[in-house]
Structure 1
Amino acid sequence: MSISPPFDRLPSLNALRAFEAAARLGSFRRAADELMVTPGAVAAQIKALEAEFGAELFHRQARGVTLTALGQRVAPRFSAAFDALGGAVRELRRHAAPRKVHIVTSPALAQLWVAPRLLHLRAALRDVDISVTALEEPPDLKRTPFDLCLFYAEPGPDKITLWDEQLLPVCIPGLAEALADPADLATVNCISDVVWQDWRIWAASAMPDSPVIPTGPGFSLYAVAVQEALSGAGVLMGRQSLVQPHLNSGALVAPFARPVPLGLSITAWMLPESRNDRAVIAVANGLRQIAGGMV
């Protein structure tokens, strides 16, 4: 008969991650987005964890979930533990692949801002392996394998402002001939991104006396909206940094000389520990230099 004490088996790491993410974010859905699984998978993992310990960690309500007293008590320690684990993994990755930098950005910036600049960036940083992933929302860098976030955001002390975005309607030259005044927008299709409120922001500044907010077809991918404008389907509310190459070539023109600040900038940020990472800093500085030249 063994006299050794029984091994205290740890619960499923996936279940613990699901609990920690849901507790920190206050939502099974948001936790699922972060973990790249379904909300049902998060709920099942947490239910299994509760069954294993015989205690509830969340109150389930029609409006969402809230932590029980037990959940509130233990959640901070799990967050600290996963922060430490994430830090250890990042340190391992930095030393194992010191010249690799992984950028995470939005689909629009990935397709229309980052991709056209990668050739110049790689030419300037030949010994750095740069990869790009597109996500709709900025991730928590502590919980992901990314080194550098690149999104539209408000400037901040820990962020690098690359470009202060401007809004301006753009269209093909033939369509612009019929647009002498912003009021003429009521006669054409006005193309937009379905999430962004760019037309409303521009109209509030450029057409303050008009009760009309231009409307028209919307697209979930801004790159598709740009292609629609290039095909002559309507007037696109352009983010200058994303449509500048087409303005430079003359494929698109801005019929009104009324650019309006978006109020957000193309912004880069990283974890504090990455400020000592030469490869990450080199990529950040390279992006800043390229942005200044609007390559």
Structure 2
Amino acid sequence: MAAALAANQFSTIQGSENLSLGIMPVSPPFSRMPSLNALRAFEAAARLGSFRQAADELMVTPGAVTAQIKALEADYGATLFERRAHGVRLTPLGQRVAPGFIAAFDALGHAVRELRRHAAPRRVHVVTSPALAQLWLAPRLPALRAALAQVDISVTALEDPPDLKRTPFDLCLFYARPGPDRINLWDEMLLPVCTPALAEGLAEPADLGRVICISDVVWQDWKIWAKAAMPDSAVVPTGPGFSLYAVAVQQALAGAGVLMGRQSLVQGHLDSGTLVAPFGRPVPLGLSVTAWMLPESRNDRAVIAVADALRDAAGGVSAGRP
């Protein structure tokens, strides 16, 4: 009994000594990881050089990106961006750490794509512009789905091509310049189109000065066509613009004016005769309907099958045919 009591006393004394020496096991206060949203905001803004562009990519407001980066800077007591009147620029610290975050999010994006690919191996996500989605791709989707019954094709419309490393899409379909890593589907041509009734009063391009000319509010197609097709004319085709090209096409079909047509988007109406090209002077736009994917997708059978089917579908349009 005395021995046991002595052992207990020794154990208590030893524990007290350990406590006083600071070697008693404790739970150390590890610093927490910063918000993943804040890190995403920093990485996107650092890579794109713009809070606004980062917001567009992350599908949030520029104010949200600013708030996330401010919170990250406050957490570490350091400035990552210099705010200027005409944008932002990385500080030396921001420049030093940005490559590591870009590489980390590249790896995370790759892992997420691998997860999605194996979880849904027959699903292919296509992202394209609103005009191509409505007027080029949508009419071809039934045939594509019939030819690729084993593939589930989804379509999302965005104004600008996204960074495939940062988005859940497999295949981009946009107007772009041809390149070695891109599938050139169709070299776009421009030509004025209108209803047959309106075309009766149009003998030459100078007659455009007497009619309403319809266009997309962003595209400079009338200017490009007029410079090539009527360089010596003082006529500057003007008229209402529409933010959705599909609406502009509907206005042309209603006889509201002459539309500057992108041939790939109006060829169906030219084939049916609901629209005609009164002058028959196609001019190259300088851009092509182009598809591209990440290098890793070239080993994905479903993505390649959709890309091949898009190439076959584009073959139904003959270049330069008015």
Q: TM-score, normalised by structure 1?
A: 0.98
1:165 aligns with one of 176, 182, 188: 188
After superposition, residues 190-205 of structure 1 pair within 5 angstroms as: 190-205=213-228
Matching residue of 2:292: 269
Aligned length: 295
1:281 aligns with one of 304, 310, 314: 304
The Cα of 1:4 is off from its aligned counterpart by: 3.9
2:134 aligns with one of 111, 118, 138: 111
Give the whole-Å Cα distance in 2 for the aligned partners of 1:114 and 1:8.
50
Q: Which 4+ residue blocks in structure 1 deviate beyond 4 angstroms?
A: none
Give the whole-Å Cα distance in 2 for the aligned partners of 1:173 and 1:56.
63
Matching residue of 2:21: none
**What is the one-letter code of the residue matched to 2:95?**
Q
Residues 158-215 of structure 1: per-residue CA shift (max 9 Å, x gap): 0000111110000001100000000000001100001101001100110011133211
Unaligned regions of 5+ residues in structure 2, if any?
A: 1-23
Matched residue of 1:293: which SS? coil
After superposition, residues 144-155 of structure 1 pair within 5 angstroms as: 144-155=167-178
Give the whole-Å Cα distance in 1 for the aligned partners of 2:308 and 2:98.
37
Matching residue of 1:95: 118
Give the whole-Å Cα distance in 2 for the aligned partners of 1:187 and 1:62.
45
Give the whole-Å Cα distance in 1 for the aligned partners of 2:284 and 2:174.
16
Give the whole-Å Cα distance in 1 for the aligned partners of 2:151 and 2:317.
22
Q: Percent identity?
A: 82
Matching residue of 2:243: 220
Matched residue of 1:158: which SS? coil
Give the whole-Å Cα distance in 2 for the aligned partners of 1:8 and 1:268.
45
* Range that drifts further, 206-215 or 242-251: 206-215
Matched residue of 2:198: which SS? helix
Say if 2:280 is the partner of 1:237. Answer: no
Give the whole-Å Cα distance in 2 for the aligned partners of 1:19 and 1:124.
43
**What is the one-letter code of the residue matched to 1:291?**
A
Matching residue of 1:290: 313
The Cα of 1:216 is off from its aligned counterpart by: 0.7
The Cα of 1:243 is off from its aligned counterpart by: 0.4
Say if 2:53 is the partner of 1:10. Answer: no
* Range that drifts further, 60-69 or 129-138: 60-69
Q: 8 Å contact 2:208–2:235 — kept in the other structure?
A: no
Matched residue of 1:152: which SS? strand
Say if 2:39 is the partner of 1:22. Answer: no
Give the whole-Å Cα distance in 1 for the aligned partners of 2:238 and 2:87.
34
After superposition, residues 2-151 of structure 1 pair within 5 angstroms as: 2-151=25-174
The Cα of 1:2 is off from its aligned counterpart by: 4.6
The Cα of 1:62 is off from its aligned counterpart by: 1.1
Q: 8 Å contact 2:42–2:69 — kept in the other structure?
A: yes
Matched residue of 2:109: which SS? helix
Matching residue of 1:185: 208
The Cα of 1:294 is off from its aligned counterpart by: 3.4
Matched residue of 2:155: which SS? strand
Give the whole-Å Cα distance in 1 for the aligned partners of 2:104 and 2:92.
20
Q: 8 Å contact 2:125–2:170 — kept in the other structure?
A: yes
The structure with more radius of gyration = 2
The Cα of 1:61 is off from its aligned counterpart by: 1.2
The Cα of 1:3 is off from its aligned counterpart by: 2.5
**Aligned-residue CA RMSD (Å):** 1.1
Residues 46-89 of structure 1: per-residue CA shift (max 9 Å, x gap): 00000000011011111111111111110111000000000000
**What is the one-letter code of the residue matched to 1:36?**
M
Give the whole-Å Cα distance in 2 for the aligned partners of 1:175 and 1:293.
28
Residues 200-238 of structure 1: per-residue CA shift (max 9 Å, x gap): 110011001113321110000000000000011100000
Matched residue of 2:174: which SS? strand
The Cα of 1:293 is off from its aligned counterpart by: 1.5
Residues 224-278 of structure 1: per-residue CA shift (max 9 Å, x gap): 0000000111000000010011111111110001000111110000000000000
Give the whole-Å Cα distance in 1 for the aligned partners of 2:234 and 2:298.
48
